[in-house]
Structure 1
Amino acid sequence: MGRAVPAVTRALDILELFLDSAPLSAADIIERLSLPRTTVHELLATLTDRSYLVPVPGQPTRYVLGLRLFQLGSIVADQLDLAHEARREAEVVAARCDETVQVAILDGTDVVYIAKADSTHPVRLVSAVGRRLPAHCTGLGKVLLSGLSAEALDARYPRDRELAGMTPRSITSPARLREHLAEVRERGIAYDDCESNEAVHCVAAPVYDHTGAMAAAMSISVPSLRWSDDRRREWGGLVREGAALLSRRLGYLASSS
């Protein structure tokens, strides 16, 4: 690799300050980056001239990100392929746990599987990309439902209508579903304890896109014969990690707070 160009590095350092704060003045940038005043003013002039930064209306000494960055970001967003990125990350997670890893999106009251990576164990979950299951019966679906507003949830699941179950352990009460989703929201993770398949446990975590919206969910599915409290904790941490890495692939920047 070639040598990094100091001026370019400093310009990028300035732009990246705006990920956490905006607007910023030249004095703010000088203080945070410990750069010479003249250097900062020259870089600000260049970035402003190229529309990477723009002065705040009525506050010409303060800056915000400009339209050029939005244009570049939109191109990157268009190039991201959720199914492709999901498959890549699912394979990484599956290689670490040797269990079936799936990624799904929400479609009405169903989850649709868009990517999967199989376990090498002879006893494993058998599934297929494109398969649909009732969202309220799956860990993936419960994660995705937890991201909906109360109004959107009511539209999908009227409060006076019982839900169809897939196993005796499925949630069928609308009130219990809402209580359970509140728990999922608080934990940031969901479990399917034999609710969609009497012989399989799943743990799932949310995946976010570049806008900060929940775009998908990732799960690890484990046959009951290999499930335990230790696995519940271990695979819970792993699926969180995998979902976070997939979110980063989709352009999501988690809050630093």
Structure 2
Amino acid sequence: MDGMGRLVPAVTRAFDILELFLEGDGTLSAPEVTRKLRLPRTTVHELLTTLAARSYLVTIPEQPGRYRLGVRTYQLGSRYAEQLDLAAEGQRVAREVAETCDETVHVAILEDADVIYIAKVDSTHAVRMVSAAGRRLPAHCTAVGKMLLASLPAAELDARIEGRELAGMTPHSLTDPAELRAALSAVRERGVASEHRESNPDVSCVAAPVRDSAGRVVAALSVSVPMIRWSEDREAELSDLAVKGAGDLSARLGHRGAR
């Protein structure tokens, strides 16, 4: 490995063992570890004993011979979570996505019936955008907003849109509650959201959900494209890119689901 020092086999094996506990029901026996990693039984026994002595693993009293993750792994994970900054992580991922497609990328969160943009990376092309980091826009007019609204439980969605005037930002904005609900249903089926000239008359956008370690949708990542560069093929391409970017950001937040 160029530019890297030698990996220590024992440490690598110890981490291989710990990562096995991310699968299945989170419990394993020494024979199962031996089989999965194809390591000598003596080596596995020594590693399990060492990890248990340091509280990275613990034996299960009611299941002799089986292990689960110990409190030390929780302490490390909690410290990692404390240091997470959604806006900073979002900005990093948005930059990576923007470098791939050279379009404008946003990350936004939902607050009441609005979205707040917490990260934005501009395209190198000069494009007039109504969004900006820190700006608030009506959720129903944006792809990120539709993605976030569609992810809400039914009761929460009702509370945010019922009895509310859905003001439009352009003539293409969805201002009828029934039309919005139909659009949100389509978003749930597709797993991605889109808007065409609904927040900006010259721009279309696609968005995908960002999930935290518990699987909750906490943000959405979008790619915005001027209509002069928009097509069905481009929409499909950027939808895939938004899903990948949102998956990368979710992974940084500790989400382990399929991307």
What is the TM-score of this pair, normalised by structure 1?
0.92
Q: CA deviation at 1:172?
A: 2.4
For the Cα contact (< 8 Å) 2:130–2:199, is it kept in 1? no
1:48-72 Cα distance to aligned partner (Å, 9 max, x none): 1211111223112111111110100
Which residue number corresponds to residue 146 of structure 1? 150
Q: CA deviation at 1:23?
A: 1.4
For the Cα contact (< 8 Å) 2:57–2:69, is it kept in 1? yes
Q: CA deviation at 1:205?
A: 0.9
Matched, 1:52 2:56: yes
Matched, 1:118 2:112: no
Which residue number corresponds to residue 228 of structure 1? 231
For the Cα contact (< 8 Å) 2:108–2:221, is it kept in 1? yes
| Structure 1 segments unaligned to the other structure (5+ residues) | none
Distance in 2, matches of 1:150 and 1:219, equals: 23
Equivalent of 2:83 in 68, 71, 79? 79
Which residue number corresponds to residue 18 of structure 2? 15
Letter of the aligned partner of 2:45 in structure 1? H
Equivalent of 2:248 in 234, 239, 245? 245
Matches within 5 A, 1:1-257: 1-21=4-24, 22-158=26-162, 163-255=166-258
Q: CA deviation at 1:77?
A: 1.1
Distance 1:219 1:255, change over 3 A: closer
SS of equivalent to 2:172: coil
Q: CA deviation at 1:126?
A: 4.6
Letter of the aligned partner of 2:236 in structure 1? R
| Structure 2 segments unaligned to the other structure (5+ residues) | none
Distance in 2, matches of 1:255 and 1:95, equals: 24
For the Cα contact (< 8 Å) 2:143–2:195, is it kept in 1? yes
Distance in 2, matches of 1:9 and 1:18, equals: 15
Deviates more, 1:42-51 or 1:104-113: 42-51
Q: CA deviation at 1:162?
A: 5.3
1:150-182 Cα distance to aligned partner (Å, 9 max, x none): 121122122x65533222322223333233222
Letter of the aligned partner of 1:101 in structure 2? V
Superposed structure 1 runs of 4+ greater than 6 Å apart? none
Number of matched pairs: 255
For the Cα contact (< 8 Å) 1:77–1:210, is it kept in 2? no
Q: CA deviation at 1:183?
A: 1.6
For the Cα contact (< 8 Å) 2:191–2:208, is it kept in 1? yes
1:60-106 Cα distance to aligned partner (Å, 9 max, x none): 21111111101000111111211111112212222222221111111
For the Cα contact (< 8 Å) 1:207–1:214, is it kept in 2? yes
For the Cα contact (< 8 Å) 2:117–2:132, is it kept in 1? yes
SS of equivalent to 2:171: coil
Distance 1:167 1:215, change over 3 A: same
Q: CA deviation at 1:7?
A: 1.4
What is the TM-score of this pair, normalised by structure 2?
0.92
